[in-house]
Amino acid sequence: MDPPYALLCEEVLPEIRRSVASHLHGSGLSQEQIAKALGTSQAMVSRYLRSREDVRPSLEGVVAPIARELSVALMAGEDQVASTERLNGLIMKALSEGRLCARHNERHPMVNCKACFDPLSLRSGRSNVLLDLRTALEYLRGNPIPDLFPEVMVNLAQAVDGASSRDDVASFPGRLKLVDGKVGGAEPEFGCSRHLADMLLSPGPEAGSFRAVINLRYDERIDSALREMDLEPVFMDRSRAEGGPGTAVQSPGKDGVLVDRGAFGIEPCLYLFSVNALQAVSIAGEVQRTLDRMMGR
């Protein structure tokens, strides 16, 4: 007998901690700060950072997105209780979606096992969507993205699971503004962004895999940064966006990167799609850091 919770304790959680420690260290936090955020010792953080082992391929799809989201939440100042609840929700969601089955079957093959597929309380409700958006804003306040702010300002939207209308998508009324290098915005609300809501609700091959989107500046430098990150942009067909044939917004592709080159009087725009708001701002932060490196900052 090898229950999935043994796998979580023995492999998944240590890999998540190691990956989060690496993310936080790469963002400039000290080992002492990382130890406090993770609730562990500085010696253990040092061990995590010295480790050069790669995550098993069968666990990469579980560990990487969870570690990314937790890193953003911790950098945004989320406390131990909230981050523990977040981690628990993310792990339960991974279990219920069968994303641990591949590694579990490597350890102990089990035919027709459905032990983890019962309905669980997942982080997809309306209150949790608003929490994700607030936490994403706190992350941007501590990790600004000045080169990515377009003239029309930034907005960030996230939908509940199974969203069917604009009222199922929350965003920031009046958008997020950059004033004197600081990001600010009103409390997120449902039903206040028609444009980003329509983008998330638009049908396509990736429908359902992306629940969040952020709009950003787009130019040649940013295009180079995206390609440096091995992110392949998909370019929007403006005939669709302007009421032509087909859906209003085309698929952003597997990388979730959609570009509107703009038109007369319309600013070019980059849209980053992801599973939630924290993942979206994390990718935006990586684009900004890539730009900084490319420009020798």
**Residue range(s) defining the domain that contains residue 187:** 126-294
248 lies in some domain: yes
137 lies in some domain: yes
149 lies in some domain: yes
| 142 and 289, same domain (yes or no) | yes
| 102 and 139, same domain (yes or no) | no
112 lies in some domain: no
37 lies in some domain: yes
Residue range 224-245: mean pLDDT, rounded: 77
Residue range 9-15: mean pLDDT, rounded: 90
50 lies in some domain: yes
| 91 and 132, same domain (yes or no) | no
For residue 164, pLDDT beyond 50: yes
pLDDT recorded at residue 127: 87
| 141 and 260, same domain (yes or no) | yes
| 131 and 166, same domain (yes or no) | yes
For residue 123, pLDDT beyond 70: no
For residue 176, pLDDT beyond 90: yes
| 149 and 268, same domain (yes or no) | yes
Of the candidates 274, 282, 215, the residue with the CA atom closest to the CA atom of residue 73: 282
Residue range 195-211, pLDDT digits in tens: 899 989 876 545 567 99
pLDDT recorded at residue 8: 87
pLDDT recorded at residue 119: 44
Q: How confident is the model at residue 101 (pLDDT cuts 50, 70, 90)?
A: confident
Residue range 207-231: mean pLDDT, rounded: 91
Q: Which pTM value belongs to this model?
A: 0.74
Q: How confident is the model at residue 240 (pLDDT cuts 50, 70, 90)?
A: low
Domain boundary among 78, 107, 136: 107
Residue range 247-266: mean pLDDT, rounded: 79
pLDDT recorded at residue 130: 93
Q: How confident is the model at residue 121 (pLDDT cuts 50, 70, 90)?
A: very low
Provide the domain count of the chain.
Answer: 2
| 41 and 159, same domain (yes or no) | no
pLDDT recorded at residue 32: 93
Please, which residues have CB within 8 angstroms of residue 288's CB and are 6 or more apart in sequence?
143, 144, 145, 146, 147, 148
pLDDT recorded at residue 246: 40
| 77 and 216, same domain (yes or no) | no
Residue range 104-131: mean pLDDT, rounded: 71
Who has greater pLDDT, 20 or 125? 20
For residue 245, pLDDT beyond 50: no
Whole-angstrom Cα distance, residue 98 to residue 75?
Answer: 29
pLDDT recorded at residue 278: 94
130 lies in some domain: yes
Q: How confident is the model at residue 5 (pLDDT cuts 50, 70, 90)?
A: confident
* Structure tokens that stand for 232 in this block: 């392949």
The order of strands in the sheet holding 269-274 is 189-190, 169-171, 156-159, 212-217, 269-274, 257-260, 234-235
| 152 and 259, same domain (yes or no) | yes
- For 119-135, give one letter per residue: b (16+ CB within 10 A) or e: eeeebbeeebbbbbbbb
Residue range 79-96, pLDDT digits in tens: 888 898 899 889 888 888
| 11 and 152, same domain (yes or no) | no
Residue 206 vs residues 68, 148, 155, 173: alpha-carbon distances, Å: 21, 25, 21, 27
Of the candidates 235, 154, 228, 160, the residue with the CA atom closest to the CA atom of residue 195: 154
For residue 247, pLDDT beyond 70: no
Domain boundary among 107, 139, 159: 107
| 139 and 65, same domain (yes or no) | no
pLDDT recorded at residue 254: 84
| 130 and 99, same domain (yes or no) | no
pLDDT recorded at residue 171: 96
Residue range 250-269: mean pLDDT, rounded: 86
pLDDT recorded at residue 204: 59
203 lies in some domain: yes
Q: CATH number, domain at 255?
A: 3.40.225.10
For residue 293, pLDDT beyond 50: yes
